[in-house]
């Protein structure tokens, strides 16, 4: 079975790497944090001491990292992937970063004869564990075809365009998700203020036009007051930062995204950095002096 390099063993990367091991792939892993690396090695991966070492041993390398500077450092920095690659290899970056950074990295790799796909994901920790992530892929069709079986172990990949298109699609996804969660919280708070049980509202409208995956996933969290992270608030702020920076570059007005960004920044200032992004409900609860949490 093919040997795959995997760099980044965070809340998403670790279960994704485990799914590859479960599927029979030989995984060579590297992570800056020692505990996460130790765990994935005990699960069956081979330990590497640097990103360069991963690249020197594997024809396909996957990165799953927090943000654009992290990916640039791991790929292009000292002891980075680019120092260990050879012509014919493929880098699949599954991080969520700025599209222009993806294109910059791809250009440097192409000069070495290395192909690249940008393949950010959506679905959070639960879908990472289940191997059912939505995977938005940018790159050459022939390279996508070569890597499709690998990606299908982790989710449902769709080729959306050339390099950078995957990241652009992820920005669209994160825009819609953020605004959707805010709308769910805003509407449910109105219902509770009016004296109607939010859970009954949820049951009544979830199958109609107001229904969505966000509604189905996040409303029950709001009723429990459970904001343990599936997708951390700080990471959605990072994504919305990329959304708004890209919108300025393209002169695209995005007033709703800007408003939700301010809501999230307020929550982070209140100490909710590590909360799930469904915790947007806390902004509305504080604003309206009401709780959506069911009293048992």
Element (H, E) at 51: helix 51-57
Running DSSP on this structure, what letter comes out for residue 33? S
Q: Which amino acids are annotated catalytic?
A: 170
Tokens found for residue 204 = 């009544």
User: Cα separation of 110 and 97, whole Å?
Assistant: 19
- Are the C-beta atoms of 25 and 4 separated by less than 8 Å? yes
Torsion of CA 30, 34, 39, 43, to 10 degrees: 30
Nearest to 136 by CA among 177, 95, 100: 95
**How many C-beta neighbours within 10 Å does residue 149 have?**
12
């Amino acid at each position: 079975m093919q040997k795959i390099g995997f760099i980044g063993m965070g809340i998403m990367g670790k279960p994704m790497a485990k799914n590859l091991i479960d599927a029979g792939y030989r995984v060579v892993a590297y992570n800056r944090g020692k505990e996460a690396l130790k765990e994935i090695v005990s699960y069956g991966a081979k330990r590497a001491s640097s990103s360069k070492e991963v690249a020197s041993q594997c024809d396909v390398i996957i990165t799953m990292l927090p943000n654009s500077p992290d990916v640039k450092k791991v790929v292009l920095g000292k002891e980075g992937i680019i120092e260990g690659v050879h012509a014919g290899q493929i880098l699949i970056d599954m991080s969520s970063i700025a599209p222009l950074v993806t294109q910059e990295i791809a250009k440097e790799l192409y000069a070495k004869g290395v192909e690249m796909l940008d393949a950010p994901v959506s679905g959070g920790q639960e879908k990472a564990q289940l191997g059912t992530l939505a995977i938005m892929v940018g790159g050459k069709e022939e390279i996508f075809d070569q890597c499709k079986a690998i990606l299908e172990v982790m989710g449902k990949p769709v080729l959306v365009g050339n390099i950078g298109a995957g990241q652009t699609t992820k920005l669209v996804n994160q825009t819609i998700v953020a605004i959707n969660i805010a709308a769910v919280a805003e509407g449910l708070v109105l219902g509770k203020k009016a004296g109607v049980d939010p859970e009954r509202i949820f049951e009544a409208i979830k199958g109609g036009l107001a229904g969505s995956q966000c509604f189905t996933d996040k409303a029950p969290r709001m009723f429990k007051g459970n904001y343990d992270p599936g997708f951390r608030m700080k990471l959605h702020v990072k994504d919305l930062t990329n959304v708004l920076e890209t919108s300025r570059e393209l002169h695209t007005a995005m007033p709703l995204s800007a408003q939700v960004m301010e809501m999230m920044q307020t929550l982070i200032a209140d100490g909710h950095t590590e909360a799930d992004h469904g915790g947007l409900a806390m902004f509305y609860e504080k604003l309206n002096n009401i709780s959506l949490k069911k009293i048992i």
